[in-house]
Structure 1
Amino acid sequence: MATRMAIVLMLLMSAAPPLGAKTMAGPLRYDFYKSSCPKAEQVVRKTTQEIILKNATMGAALLNMFVYDCFIEGCDASPLLAVRDDADDFEVRWEYATLRAYDAVDEIKAAVEAVCPGVVSCADIIALAARDATSIAGGFTFAMPTGRRDSLTSVPYTYEDSMPGSLASLQFLIDKFATKGLDIEDMVVLFGAHSFGMSHCEDVDRRLYPTVDPTMNATYAAALKEVCPPHSWGALGPWINNNRVTDPNVLSNQYYNNVLTGQVLFKSDQALMSRNETAAKVAYYAANPLAWKVRFAAALVRMGNIKVLTGTQGEVRKRCNVTN
């Protein structure tokens, strides 16, 4: 069934001109490591499977790492260089606490290094692991171009600097994605990743207290209040599943049904219903799971081209958390 789905996706992606344009590799290329490390993608896939088998929530964490990496400084593995628990700046520590895939990426990198030392970049490992996590959690696969190199520096960031926050307005979201070369279609499609994964109570606090956001389903809000106490803002709070309606570890178009019924955590998610154009896309993907999978694959590939380092730029790190 997985092979059949892969073939269907490949046919659909090649048959639709607008979508085909979005799946181009840009400065990257497919099978970049075919000669230099022919087993690279196989090793990444195997190790990613083992990680997710041990902890199903790591599928979303690996995909999340890819999104953060590309949105911060470009897809260059710069977040892996950033200070972690020993950071002097509390805000930087707080922001990086939301990323849970550091150890997983290190594990995948070590497995690849054992086969091909100093060949495969950390940036490509993040991208390939995200592709494989999508395949494992979503049941569909696609080709991911490679050839990225790793940055030599890392810039501490905040959500305001790089990532659209949970309270962002629709126009802010559109503008933020546009700065990354991604359009409204890409944005709506990529938001489908919120069908799985985890967030903190902090992200939903202002929608629950002091009064419940009127766009939120009342029963859904009541259930959240049982988990998330008041005043979670700025304190992270307990982990909660992004999708509290169906299996929270499955990547699917369920997100769009959740938006339609007011059962999403973020104000920025529900904001998709505030404009006819985006609301129509939400309804379309809620009813068309295969179309969403095709578009999601294309959008991930397009996102993976954001400000990449190639050729002699940057380096290929031997260890992902330090430069050579």
Structure 2
Amino acid sequence: MAKMATILFSAASFLIFACSLTDAAGGLELNFYDKTCPGVSNVVEAVIAHYISKAPTLAAPLLRMHFHDCFVRGCDGSVLLNSTKSRKAEKEAAPNLTLRGFQVIDAAKAAVEKVCPGVVSCADILALVARDAVHMLGGPFWNVPTGRRDGVVSIQNEAVAKLPPPNGTFSKLKSIFASNGLDVKDLVVLSGGHTIGMSHCNSFSSRLYNFTGKGDMDPSLDKSYAAHLKIKCKPGDNKTIVEMDPGSFRTFDTHYYVNVKKNRGLFQSDAALLTNNEAQSYINKGLESSSFLWDFARSMEKMGRIGVLTGTAGQIRRHCAFTN
């Protein structure tokens, strides 16, 4: 059975690769660095393999970092920039305070700079890193068209306004995704990324202790699951972390959707998926592993094109945390 699953997964990966060979959008190309930095993907992959082999839990934060980058100013590496004396950067926005893995991006950038100085953008490296990190936890492999250039602006308040909140209603989430050219299917598919990773208690504790401001619990949350969470997360706890997909948080699979259907999605935004018929329909479909892997790959490719800077726009940063 395991062998058959491997065969099916390999076939799906091949189809994703084959169907994307001629893909190019917004100035991005699959082989953009073939002449200027051949083998860049291998260099990045080697760095990621080193980190993920030692700390598999880094995969989810690296995926989240790419997501948070693309939803604010497009996929331009702005989430990687440090604050300046005159302006606080996206890193300091509340939704980004728990981001981890910046050292991995820096290490990948340094490795690439050794062989191709001043050629490959931080935005492209982040997109490659997210793909490799997911793939190393059993997720799909998708092609990453490259040619992104790095932005030079990063604003704290923009991240607060533009990132999908963990307590978002379905209409709110749908609106934010639509503003980035993503549809309901993309919303549900990309939410499936919650199959890996951890979350701090304060991202969902209002569902346990003060859902409507009256000291009540979210009635849509499974009671036994809520009781389990209350043992781990006491009121006001902002340090403890829990699995987003209990029992399967280190494996990229469809178990997240199983939990959502049982009203055991960790965030209010997870539960919100059950309030829309189209989203519910995909959740049922997404429980078929091969379908989810394929769809996730396609939605990630689509997300990776949001608002990209190409051509002579932006710059190629020498260090990802600072503009040139």
Give matches, 1:177-188, under 5 Å.
177-188=177-188
* Structural RMSD (CA): 2.5
- Cα offset for 1:265? 1.0
Change in CA separation of 1:88 and 1:13 when aligned onto 2, cut-off 3 Å: closer
2:240 equivalent in structure 1? 238
Change in CA separation of 1:168 and 1:238 when aligned onto 2, cut-off 3 Å: same
Change in CA separation of 1:90 and 1:154 when aligned onto 2, cut-off 3 Å: closer
Change in CA separation of 1:3 and 1:47 when aligned onto 2, cut-off 3 Å: farther
CA contact (8 A) 2:83 2:89 kept: no
Spell out, residue by residue over 1:253-272, the C-alpha distance to the aligned partner (whole angstroms, 9 max, x if none): 11111100111110110111
Give matches, 1:1-324, under 5 Å.
5-11=9-15, 24-26=23-25, 27-83=27-83, 92=92, 94-157=94-157, 160-209=160-209, 210-232=215-237, 236-244=238-246, 246-286=247-287, 288-324=288-324
Distance (whole Å) between structure 1 residues aligned to residue 13 and residue 292 of structure 2? 11
Change in CA separation of 1:92 and 1:272 when aligned onto 2, cut-off 3 Å: same
- Cα offset for 1:158? 5.7
Letter matched to residue 257 of structure 2? Y
CA contact (8 A) 1:120 1:316 kept: yes
CA contact (8 A) 2:152 2:323 kept: yes
CA contact (8 A) 1:95 1:158 kept: no
- Cα offset for 1:153? 1.8
Distance (whole Å) between structure 2 residues aligned to residue 12 and residue 59 of structure 1? 21
Spell out, residue by residue over 1:169-223, the C-alpha distance to the aligned partner (whole angstroms, 9 max, x if none): 1011111100000011111100000011121111111110133322112221111
- Cα offset for 1:273? 0.5
Distance (whole Å) between structure 2 residues aligned to residue 50 and residue 152 of structure 1? 30
Distance (whole Å) between structure 1 residues aligned to residue 124 and residue 54 of structure 2? 23
3-state SS of the aligned residue for 1:219?
Answer: helix
Spell out, residue by residue over 1:35-68, the C-alpha distance to the aligned partner (whole angstroms, 9 max, x if none): 1111210010110111111111111111111000
- Cα offset for 1:83? 2.3
Distance (whole Å) between structure 1 residues aligned to residue 127 and residue 113 of structure 2? 16
* Misfit runs of 4+, over 4 Å: 1-4, 12-15, 87-91
Spell out, residue by residue over 1:123-150, the C-alpha distance to the aligned partner (whole angstroms, 9 max, x if none): 0000000110111112431211100000
3-state SS of the aligned residue for 1:57?
Answer: helix
Distance (whole Å) between structure 2 residues aligned to residue 38 and residue 91 of structure 1? 31
Distance (whole Å) between structure 1 residues aligned to residue 52 and residue 91 of structure 2? 29
- Cα offset for 1:300? 0.4
- Cα offset for 1:91? 9.8
CA contact (8 A) 2:81 2:91 kept: no
Distance (whole Å) between structure 2 residues aligned to residue 158 and residue 206 of structure 1? 24
Identical-residue share of aligned pairs (%): 38
Distance (whole Å) between structure 2 residues aligned to residue 115 and residue 163 of structure 1? 35
Distance (whole Å) between structure 2 residues aligned to residue 68 and residue 90 of structure 1? 9
3-state SS of the aligned residue for 1:168?
Answer: coil
Distance (whole Å) between structure 2 residues aligned to residue 268 and residue 125 of structure 1? 29
- Cα offset for 1:25? 3.1
Change in CA separation of 1:14 and 1:35 when aligned onto 2, cut-off 3 Å: closer
Letter matched to residue 25 of structure 1? A
Letter matched to residue 241 of structure 2? W
CA contact (8 A) 1:177 1:183 kept: yes
3-state SS of the aligned residue for 2:71?
Answer: helix
CA contact (8 A) 1:6 1:141 kept: no
Distance (whole Å) between structure 2 residues aligned to residue 41 and residue 12 of structure 1? 17
Gapped regions of structure 2 (runs ≥ 5): 210-214
CA contact (8 A) 1:92 1:158 kept: no
Spell out, residue by residue over 1:283-304, the C-alpha distance to the aligned partner (whole angstroms, 9 max, x if none): 1112x11111111000000000
Matched residue pairs, number? Answer: 313
Gapped regions of structure 1 (runs ≥ 5): none
- Cα offset for 1:94? 3.8
TM-score normalized by structure 1? 0.90
- Cα offset for 1:6? 4.0
Spell out, residue by residue over 1:224-268, the C-alpha distance to the aligned partner (whole angstroms, 9 max, x if none): 111111134xxx332222111x22121211111110011111011
Letter matched to residue 239 of structure 2? G
TM-score normalized by structure 2? 0.90
